[in-house]
Amino acid sequence: MAGGADEAADRRLMRRALALARRGRGWTDPNPMVGCVLVRDGRIVGEGYHARVGGAHAEAAALERAGDAAAGATAYVTLEPCSHQGRTPPCADRLVEAGVARVEAAMADPDERVSGRGLERLRKAGVEVNTGALGDTAEALNAGFVKRARTGWPWVTLKLAASLDGRTATSSGESQWITSEAARTDVHRLRHGHAAIITGSGTVMADDPSLTARIPEGGAHPLRVVLDSELRTVPGARVVTGPGRCLVVAGHQASAERRQALEAAGTEVMAVPADGDGRLNLAAVWDELGRREINSVLAECGATLAGSMLFGGWVDRLVTYQAPTIIGAGGRAMFAVEAITSMAERIELDVLERREIGPDWRITAKPSVQC
């Protein structure tokens, strides 16, 4: 961190700004989550966060609350103030006009339309600017926004629920319910925090999931994406008929008649190339989702797609819910992949968190293999 009158106070106030930013989770896409705290003479005079896409940015919300008290204040912002005209006016200009004396930004904006320009505009106007306070935390908060800005691809979380012996279903295919109601409630909050949920046609045919975010405060329903090379998804499937939007991704050779039936049911159908094994090209899928400004994707799928994603390096984060139950060797495994012959081929995980969710354990990890 460069400069700052009191580093401990700066970090404390930035933590407050980050806590405010988290309130926008699930509502701000394709924008990042941002929080802002305005402090003058050691007292918070205004604070705010970006609550919804199209709504006021965090800086504007904080300035509105501060009024004339913003003059001479320090602004603690979790992301570099924007300098371009988007859905709302530039925040850097608003801070200058309000007479803010100092800006502490946790990180620079990776969006090429901003990327240092907001900070430079502030400096040219005579505002003291420092960056880096809790920058790693700020970047982790907006991992999807940051990744899409840098690579064009969304941040991908693979979620699985399994027994203690790593089985996702019995030998007959029964999977409801391995984990507890508390874990299932937690999954709905996980869905709410992602812009899209992706699954395969096999899961749709076997389980007919709705893939919506059902939480007490009314979750945002992410875009539902079904990978279905042969368009086996029926127009009456719950992913098609449920609230929110559904996108079915097919191969170029898929039936025109099936496509028309899905489109008549209100579903968008898109074709992408297939790999040599006939499976849809995942890079093409991520390219398309990135073009649609999808920052984050939650994969809830069967063993085949889960294996392809994990061993293909497409997974940024793995979230598993492990129940204290045993299903046995006949049950379905978490990943369907070719057998490895040496320990060198295994995928190692950097465990980020272990947490009890009711009687179950939620383990969050970062895979060692990533694109």
Nearest 10 degrees: CA dihedral of 16, 21, 24, 28? Answer: 170
Catalytic residue among 59, 80, 104, 300: 59
Q: Which residue has the tokens 């989702």?
A: 289
Active-site residue flag, 263: no
Three-state SS sequence of 238-290: HHHHCCCCEEEEEECCCCHHHHHHHHHCCCEEEEECECCCCCECHHHHHHHHH
Alpha-carbon gap, residue 135 to 151, rounded angstroms: 19
CA 78, distance to chain mean position in Å, is: 17
Is residue 195 within 8 A of residue 223, CB to CB? The reply is: yes
The letter for the amino acid at 233 is T
Alpha-carbon gap, residue 327 to 335, rounded angstroms: 16
Burial degree of 246 (CB within 10 A; 0-12, 13-18, 19+): buried
Alpha-carbon gap, residue 335 to 145, rounded angstroms: 28
DSSP 124: H
How many residues are listed for the chain in this entry? 371
Which residues carry out catalysis? 59
